[in-house]
Chains A and B, each alone.
Chain A
Amino acid sequence: MITGRTLAQGAECENKMSPGFFRAVALCHISETDFKSLELTEGRNVLLKNECGQVVLAAKADSGLPENIVFLPMGPWANVLVGRETGGCGTPHFKGVKVEVAATDLPVSDIRELFTNMRR
């Protein structure tokens, strides 16, 4: 998994509680080959998981991606899968994260649901 900026993410990044931010960021870009092999269609969701956690996102085919790489717009959904280790330089690994991806019928959590019950 790699995470990064997109135009839509940037345009909504100071408006995070809005539906626009949810539409722009709660996404998983997948190569066209992987999209077919996972039997996905536009509108379907994928479950991503690794040792840090799991998150459901809307699947989106992306012709720019090679096989076996997913791209997630940076933000709280992607960060569920990012580890806290910084390699001694203060910066977590936001790119090059190993994840498992599968089609799912589970819904995508909205931003308030993501942070529900996080407070002490």
Chain B
Amino acid sequence: MSEATIIKDAICSFCGCLCDDIIVEVEGGKVQRARHACPLGSSKIMGHGRIESPMIRKDGELVESSFQEAYDRSAQILLQANKPLMYGWASTSCEAAEKGILLAEEVGAVIDSTATVCHGPSVIGIEEKGLPGATLGQVKNRADTIIFWGCNPAEAHPRHFRRYSSNSIGRFTPQGREGRKIIVVDVRATRTSRNADKFVRIDPGCDYEVISALRMLVAGKGDILPERVGGVLKADLAELAAMLKAARFGALFFGLGLTHSRGRYKNIDNALSLVAELNQHTKFVVLPMRGHYNVGGIGQTLAWSSGYPMSVDFTRGMPYFNPGETAACDLLARKDTDAALIIAADAASNFPRATAEALANIPVIQIDPYENPTTLLSDVVIPCAIAGVEVEGTAYRMDGLALRLRKMVDSSLPSDEEILMGILQSVRKQRQMMANEGA
């Protein structure tokens, strides 16, 4: 029996926390234990059922193929399309994203990330107002007042409290949870609100109004507010505004409660304005609670490559960005794309039903370690090694900190990078053949 290997300080590649204190025990080429990981990270690192072979759909059925056949068919689909969509990228490395951007440029595709069904409105709001941000380390070491608005880290980012926020113990926050004021704003009580000193329940779709009321109170103009805003009594809002102004170092974490509800990017715009105004009284920072572990990384990689962080259209021979027009859901809803490559995401599950139906009506290439509903709609399925478990690479934490993912175990499957390069080489080869035939 082979000896167990211990990998210390491994990084969990599940959520935007990118916890970097995981101790992984590997024996017999398999992960046996992932100490410190939460249930989400543990599920990812320990692994489960995989797609074992590339497949190409023939006569309605997915049939096993070689990798080269899958690359060639994928290249053919991309070359035959007028406006292919390349979507996903949140659960793979920045190195894979770079190769994807290169492929998108060469075939004239629209490249978009899962941010567009997640924190896309945050990206737009931040473009409008700027982000008075901080690292999670600064929050841990300094924040004495923390608001969680429209997010539920107790279930979506389970170790956020203990490692970075409410319950963390830092250099200037030695008392941890006891030394902090924790505020939760949400439309429902959650496991996160149970950890709060003050829970403010607001009416659904009223975030914008409540943020505006807080801005007025912070600015000393509360006298013209009505007695109740968004289902919250003025007295409660006044108490909340006083808590925010009394902070020595405040942090606002916001989630999809703001981006997915009425107001969308304007909610973010308003929240950023609130934080900017609080900085006239004290130090306050704001951060989005990014979901998938590298959804920030694809945004960074696209931004430094093309100038835009998501929904980048290369069909015009230059990068063009107009969410609402070039975002994946809009393209599909308008039937304005005629092929799709879905990588490191499950579009069929996560898009509205009518949008997923549009996906089902065009040729689809899937690159993913796991079978999911997108597999059921795909014409080509290419299994890959898991970035952050079987392949090393770079990922960006939710605060924009770049971290190096470690390889824990070997895989016989190619990485996302290798697959994308295989498709790109096939694209170039088929183009050359077409050029030769034309000549």
Contacts A/B (CB < 8 Å), 19 sampled: A2-B187, A4-B256, A4-B257, A16-B370, A52-B352, A52-B354, A69-B188, A75-B350, A79-B352, A82-B352, A88-B324, A89-B120, A90-B120, A90-B323, A91-B260, A95-B205, A95-B261, A96-B205, A96-B260
Question: Is A107 in contact with chain B by the CB < 8 A criterion?
Answer: no
B39 and A76 contacting across the interface, CB-CB below 8 Å: no
A5 and B351 contacting across the interface, CB-CB below 8 Å: no
Question: Is A111 in contact with chain B by the CB < 8 A criterion?
Answer: yes
Question: Is A43 in contact with chain B by the CB < 8 A criterion?
Answer: no
A91 and B361 contacting across the interface, CB-CB below 8 Å: no
Would you give the 0/1 interface string for B198-240, flagging 1 where the beta carbon is closer than 8 Å to chain A? 0001001100000000000000000000000000000000000
Chain B residues whose C-beta falls within 8 Å of the C-beta of A86 in the assembled complex: 323-324, 327, 329-330, 333
Question: Bound complex: CA of A89 vs CA of B127, how far in Å?
Answer: 13
A64-B346 in contact given A84-B354, A89-B323 (Cβ < 8 Å): no
A87-B48 in contact given A16-B346, A65-B188 (Cβ < 8 Å): no
B76 → chain A closest CB, angstroms: 18
- Is chain A's binding surface mostly helix, strand, loop or mixed? loop
Question: Bound complex: CA of A83 vs CA of B333, how far in Å?
Answer: 10
A93 and B260 contacting across the interface, CB-CB below 8 Å: yes
A17 and B350 contacting across the interface, CB-CB below 8 Å: no
Which of A63, A75, A82: most chain B Cβ within 10 A? A82
A4 and B152 contacting across the interface, CB-CB below 8 Å: yes
The size class of the interface chain B forms with chain A is 35 or more
Chain B residues whose C-beta falls within 8 Å of the C-beta of A5 in the assembled complex: 152, 155-156, 291
Question: Bound complex: CA of A105 vs CA of B204, how far in Å?
Answer: 30
B349-364 residues with Cβ-Cβ distance < 8 A to A are: 349-357, 360-361
Question: Is B264 in contact with chain A by the CB < 8 A criterion?
Answer: yes
A68-105 residues with Cβ-Cβ distance < 8 A to B are: 69, 71, 74-76, 79-96
Q: Within the complex, which residue of B43, B260, B330, B376 is in contact with A118, where a contact is CB–CB below 8 Å?
A: B376
Question: Bound complex: CA of A52 vs CA of B333, how far in Å?
Answer: 13
A94 and B43 contacting across the interface, CB-CB below 8 Å: no
Question: Is B409 in contact with chain A by the CB < 8 A criterion?
Answer: no
Q: Within the complex, which residue of A15, A88, A111, A120 is in contact with B323, where a contact is CB–CB below 8 Å?
A: A88
By a beta-carbon cutoff of 8 Å, the part of chain B in contact with chain A is 14-15, 39-40, 42-44, 48-49, 91, 112, 116-118, 120-121, 124, 152, 154-156, 158, 187-190, 193, 201, 204-205, 256-257, 259-262, 264-265, 291, 310-311, 323-324, 326-330, 332-333, 346, 348-357, 360-361, 369-373, 376-377
Q: Within the complex, which residue of A14, A76, A82 is in contact with B43, where a contact is CB–CB below 8 Å?
A: A14
A63 and B333 contacting across the interface, CB-CB below 8 Å: no
Apart from A15-B49, A52-B352, A95-B261, list 9 A-B contacts with CB within 8 A: A4-B156, A4-B256, A17-B49, A76-B373, A84-B332, A84-B333, A87-B264, A90-B329, A91-B118
By a beta-carbon cutoff of 8 Å, the part of chain A in contact with chain B is 2-7, 10-12, 14-18, 52-53, 62-66, 69, 71, 74-76, 79-96, 111-112, 114-115, 118-120
A13 → chain B closest CB, angstroms: 8
Question: Bound complex: CA of A12 vs CA of B376, how far in Å?
Answer: 18
Q: Within the complex, which residue of A69, A79, A120 is in contact with B361, where a contact is CB–CB below 8 Å?
A: A120
B96 → chain A closest CB, angstroms: 17
A64 and B190 contacting across the interface, CB-CB below 8 Å: yes
Question: Bound complex: CA of A14 vs CA of B293, how far in Å?
Answer: 13
B281 → chain A closest CB, angstroms: 31
Which of B49, B187, B188, B357: most chain A Cβ within 10 A? B188
Pairs of residues from A and B, 9 with the lowest C-beta to C-beta distance, nearest first: A90-B327, A64-B189, A88-B324, A90-B323, A82-B352, A94-B260, A5-B156, A84-B333, A90-B116
A73 → chain B closest CB, angstroms: 10
Question: Bound complex: CA of A6 vs CA of B152, how far in Å?
Answer: 9
Chain B residues whose C-beta falls within 8 Å of the C-beta of A81 in the assembled complex: 353
B256 and A94 contacting across the interface, CB-CB below 8 Å: yes
B361 and A90 contacting across the interface, CB-CB below 8 Å: no
Chain B residues whose C-beta falls within 8 Å of the C-beta of A69 in the assembled complex: 187-188, 204
